[in-house]
Amino acid sequence: MTTIVVGAGIVGASAAYHLARKGEDVILVDKRFKGEATAAGAGIVCPWISKTDDPDWYRLARNGALYYPELMERLKQDGEEHVGFAFVGALGVNEEESELAAMEARAHQRKQDTPEVGEIKRLSYREAKALFPPLKEGLEAVYVEGAARLDGRLLRDALCRAAKKHGAQVVEGEACLVYEEEAICGVEVEGTVYEGDTVIAASGAWAKQLAESIGITIEVEPQKGQIAHIGMEGYDTSKWPVVLPQTSHYLVCFDDARVVIGATRETGSGFDYRLTAGGVYEVLDEGLRVAPGLSEGSLREVRIGFRPASKDLKPLLGRVKALKGLVIATGLGASGLTMGPYVGTLAAALAVGEEPPIDLAPYDPLRKC
């Protein structure tokens, strides 16, 4: 039995890896489009204080966060350790006492059935600033121990390398679905047909075009994000926590004296792969408002990514009942690096006829959002 995975972002790479690791025949096809969300995303794993209260969204986000330690151990066994993953904690910050209290209450509520949330405590601005030195004076915080960060590019590449070690074939190019008599039978890539029993459509914001090529409509659109990388030479940023101001913006740090400020959420952007003055201004303004100490840092780069966004924030995940052999896995939006590896395991299970461990009905890929 052969499974073809279209798209080597975080979901597709995870699906290919888990299938190959189980001994399945896997072909991973990827075009490497400009603006892939995985390559641009910041990599924050902390659903514990999110304001999103949809239980179906939270189920995947929670399970995704909890799956990371197991995934890291599996990759380590396969010789892949350097993915930028670390538990660094998170600071939820706000100038309003009522917002801090609500944030703290959400974290405690979610900890009731998820002890991995870890320690939760209120911090004075001095305590918060000691953990994240560029932070604005007077800004208090809620600290959540069980938050992590990772580098999406490194993780994606590690999953692809590990999949190849287990026998996966990687093909570069744009895939078109091939079907006969209401069943998918493979893909065509630049004139070459690759036969398969199941195709996982995991090409992120580009999955809509892939599905439309065979008359299937899925409600996912590209949402542009511009994300700034600031160099803080002379500082050890490796243990600085994630900073979550409870807006769509955030700050996350990595080992190479780098602080990432993100990100715009440009709904209706299409695939407009341009840095814009307004977008860069928005990101820097929001980031420096929370952490003015970053103002002397060097602007290393600004990345662009197109999140595959559904209208109701929930992923599109499941089999297409009217067409045998097609699994759709996309629509993770801004939560891609939180839940992506876990969603990849679910897509892999569906591809080989296994029953997934959770009910996927709320994520029906053909639902009207």
The 3-class secondary structure across 142-186, one letter per residue, is: EEECCCEECCHHHHHHHHHHHHHHCCCEEEECCEEEEEECCEEEE
- How far apart (Å, rounded) are the C-alpha atoms in residues 16 and 25? 9
Residue 2 has a pLDDT of 98
Residue 332 has a pLDDT of 98
Other beta carbons within 10 angstroms of residue 185's beta carbon come to: 19
Residue 221 has a pLDDT of 97
- How far apart (Å, rounded) are the C-alpha atoms in residues 49 and 102? 9
Residue 136 has a pLDDT of 97
Asked whether the beta carbons of 285 and 272 are under 8 A apart, the reply is: no
**Cα–Cα nearest to 38, from 13, 59, 72, 66:** 13
Radius of gyration of the chain (CA): 20
Write the CATH number of the domain with boundaries 2-39+153-219+312-363. Answer: 3.50.50.60
- 192-196 long-range contacts, CB within 8 A, separation 24+: 194/4, 194/27, 194/29, 195/2, 196/2, 196/3, 196/4, 196/27, 196/325
Q: Which CATH superfamily is domain 92-148+221-309 in?
A: D-Amino Acid Oxidase, subunit A, domain 2 (3.30.9.10)
The pair of structure tokens assigned to 180 is 């006969």
Domain boundaries, the chain: 2-39+153-219+312-363, 92-148+221-309
- How far apart (Å, rounded) are the C-alpha atoms in residues 62 and 232? 32
Do 2-39+153-219+312-363 and 92-148+221-309 have matching folds? no
Residue 102 has a pLDDT of 96
| Per-residue model confidence as pLDDT tens for the chain (369 residues) | 999 999 999 999 999 999 999 999 999 999 999 999 998 988 999 999 999 999 999 999 999 999 999 999 999 999 999 998 999 999 999 999 999 999 999 999 999 999 999 999 999 999 999 999 999 999 999 999 999 999 999 999 999 999 999 999 999 999 999 999 889 999 999 999 999 999 999 999 999 999 999 999 999 999 999 999 999 999 999 999 999 997 779 999 999 999 999 999 999 999 999 999 999 999 999 999 999 999 999 999 999 999 999 999 999 999 999 899 999 999 999 999 999 999 999 999 999 999 999 999 999 999 998
- How far apart (Å, rounded) are the C-alpha atoms in residues 9 and 38? 6
Residue 263 preceded by cis peptide, ω within 30: yes
pTM of this prediction exceeds 0.95: yes
**Cα–Cα nearest to 283, from 327, 246, 228, 330:** 228
Asked whether the beta carbons of 59 and 113 are under 8 A apart, the reply is: no
Residue 47 has a pLDDT of 98
Residue 221, strand partner residues: 309
SS3 content of the chain, % helix, strand, coil (to 5): 35, 30, 35
DSSP assignment of 203-254: -GGGHHHHHHTTT-----EEEEEEEEEEE-TT---TTPPEEE-SSS-EEEEE
Residue 163 has a pLDDT of 99
The pair of structure tokens assigned to 172 is 């570069």
Report the interhelical angle of 55-77 vs 152-165 (nearest 10°). Answer: 60
Give residue 74's identity as a one-letter amino acid code. Answer: R
Report the interhelical angle of 336-351 vs 152-165 (nearest 10°). Answer: 20
DSSP assignment of 37-63: HHHH---EE-GGG-S---HHHHHHHHH
Asked whether the beta carbons of 39 and 156 are under 8 A apart, the reply is: yes
Cα first-last separation, the chain: 34
